[in-house]
Amino acid sequence: MFHGHIPTSLSFLKSIQELDLSHNNFSGPIPAYLSKFPLTCLNLSYNYFEGEVPVGGVFANESAISLVGNPELCGGIDELHLPRCQGKEVTKAKIPFKLRLIIYCVCALVGAAIVISIYYICRRKKQHSPLPVSSFREPFFNVSYKMLLKAAEGFSSSNFLGAGAFGSVFKGVLEHSQTTVAVKVLDLQQPGASKSFAAECKALRIIDSFHLQNSNLRS
C-alpha cells in the first residue's frame, strides 16, 4: 500500500543488493541513484512510475530488473522494448542530421554567392569609374629658353623638321626628363606672327579640353 515517490532517504542504503517494491502505488520517476547501488535484483513492477528509465548499473541487465505494469515508463535499454521518451524524440525530430546538413550546405552556398556577387560588383564599379584627369594628360614643365636651346642643339639644321609662314620647327630632347619635343621658333618680324602664336595657343587649349572630355566619356 505504499504510495507517492520513492523517498530520498533510501539513497543511503548503498549496500543493498535486492529491492522489491512491486504491487504498490509508487509514482513519479525512478530515482537515478538506484543505478549506483550494487543491486542484483530490482522489482518495480505494477506501480505508477513514469518517465525515463535509467540505463546504468542494474538497469543495464534485463534479467535483473522487472518493470512491467508501469505503462508510463519510457527509454531504458533496447532489450526492455519500452517506447522512446517523447521529449527526446521531439528534439531529434526538430533538427535531424540530414536536415542540419542541408541547412549548412545551403548557408555555405548562399554565403559564397554573396561574396562572389560583391566581388564582381566592386570589380565592375572599378572598371567603370572615371580615371583622374591627371592620368589622361602629361604634366606640363616650366621650360626656359636656355633649356629649349640646349634641347634643340642650338636649333641646328640636323634638328630641323620644317618651316611655316611665321617660323620654323625643330626637334629637341629635354635634358631633365629625356622627353622628345617639337620647338617652334616664331619670326616676330613677320606681320601676323603674334596673332598666329595666340591662335595656336587657343587651339591647343581647345584640343586639350576636348581630349579630356572624350577620355571621361570613354571611362
CATH of the domain at 14: 3.80.10.10
Output the pLDDT for position 120: 83
Residue 113 sits in the same domain as residue 69: no
In this structure, what DSSP letter does residue 117 have?
A: H
3-state secondary structure (DSSP) of residue 13: coil
Distance CA 217, CA 219 (A): 5
| Structural domain boundaries, residue 111 | 95-129
Residue 23 sits in the same domain as residue 88: yes
Q: Where is the domain boundary, 129, 154, 174?
A: 129
Band of the pLDDT at 5, cuts 50, 70, 90? very high
Residue 109 sits in the same domain as residue 181: no
Residue 34 sits in the same domain as residue 88: yes
Output the pLDDT for position 24: 95
Q: Where is the domain boundary, 129, 154, 175?
A: 129
Distance CA 155, CA 184 (A): 10
How confident is the model over 3-13, as a mean pLDDT?
90
- The cell for 107 is 548557408
pLDDT at 90 over 50: no
> Would the CA dihedral through 13, 19, 23, 29 be positive or negative?
positive
pLDDT at 219 over 50: no
Residue 113 sits in the same domain as residue 153: no
How confident is the model over 169-187, as a mean pLDDT?
81
pTM of the model: 0.40
Least confident of 34-38, 42-46, 187-191, 202-206: 202-206
Output the pLDDT for position 207: 57
* CATH at 153: 3.30.200.20
Band of the pLDDT at 91, cuts 50, 70, 90? very low
- The cell for 9 is 532517504
Does some domain include residue 135?
Answer: no
Q: Which residue has the cell 621650360?
A: 143
Residue 121 sits in the same domain as residue 151: no
Residue 116 sits in the same domain as residue 82: no
Does some domain include residue 134?
Answer: no
Residue 39 sits in the same domain as residue 115: no
Output the pLDDT for position 46: 95
Residue 69 sits in the same domain as residue 151: no
CA distances to 88, 147, 164, 217 from 197, in Å = 96, 20, 12, 31
Checking DSSP bridges between strand 41-43 and strand 65-66, what pairing results, if any?
Answer: parallel
- Nearest CA to 156 among 185, 180, 113? 185
Does some domain include residue 51?
Answer: yes
Residue 121 sits in the same domain as residue 188: no
Does some domain include residue 211?
Answer: yes
Output the pLDDT for position 217: 44
Q: Which residue has the higher pLDDT, 125 or 180?
A: 180
- The burial of 59, by beta-carbon neighbours within 10 Å (0-12 exposed, 13-18 middle, 19 or more buried), is given as buried
How many structural domains does the chain have?
A: 3
Residue 194 sits in the same domain as residue 170: yes
Q: Dump pLDDT digits (tens) for 109-168.
A: 888 889 888 888 888 877 665 555 444 455 566 778 888 888 888 888 888 888 777 778
Residue 42 sits in the same domain as residue 66: yes
Does some domain include residue 158?
Answer: yes
Does some domain include residue 106?
Answer: yes
C-alpha 107: how far from its chain's center?
11
pLDDT at 89 over 50: no
